[in-house]
Amino acid sequence: MPYVDGFVVPVPKDKIEAYRAMAETAGAVWREHGALEFHECIADDVKAGEVTSFPQAVQLKEDETVFFSWIVYNSREERDVINEKVMKDPRLKDSMTPESMPFDGKRMFWGGFNTFVSL
């Protein structure tokens, strides 16, 4: 069963196109290094909850939207090897600094997941 990295990130609405450009480059890099899939999804039907929600989890500001993203790998072991290569790839070096990111990386959250059910 595949291994998945999931991400949730707040992106200022005026930086969506910059985020798209960064994501397209990142997706190409991840795929070239062996990731099976790379997905970036922008919020469409995402409301604040009473206890928790995507907007609350990232402390969403009025001028921002939420992205939910995931990358699929064959296994955690392959993910670890691929991510090591990705982090060294010069095409992403400039986008990995807080000053160059088109979002607030401090409010981003992520994690790795084993597939539990896949239909």
Rounded Cα gap, residues 88 and 13, in angstroms: 29
* pLDDT at res. 2: 96
Phi, psi (5° rounding) for residue 97?
Answer: -95, 145
Give the tokens for residue 15: 């930086």
Average pLDDT, the chain: 95
pLDDT band at 47 (very low <50, low <70, confident <90, very high): very high
Q: For 55-85, what is each residue's pLDDT tens digit?
A: 999 999 999 999 999 999 999 999 999 999 9
- Nearest 5°: the CA angle 36, 41, 31 is 20
Its pTM stands at 0.93
Q: Which residues contact 77 (CB under 8 A, 6 or more apart)?
A: none
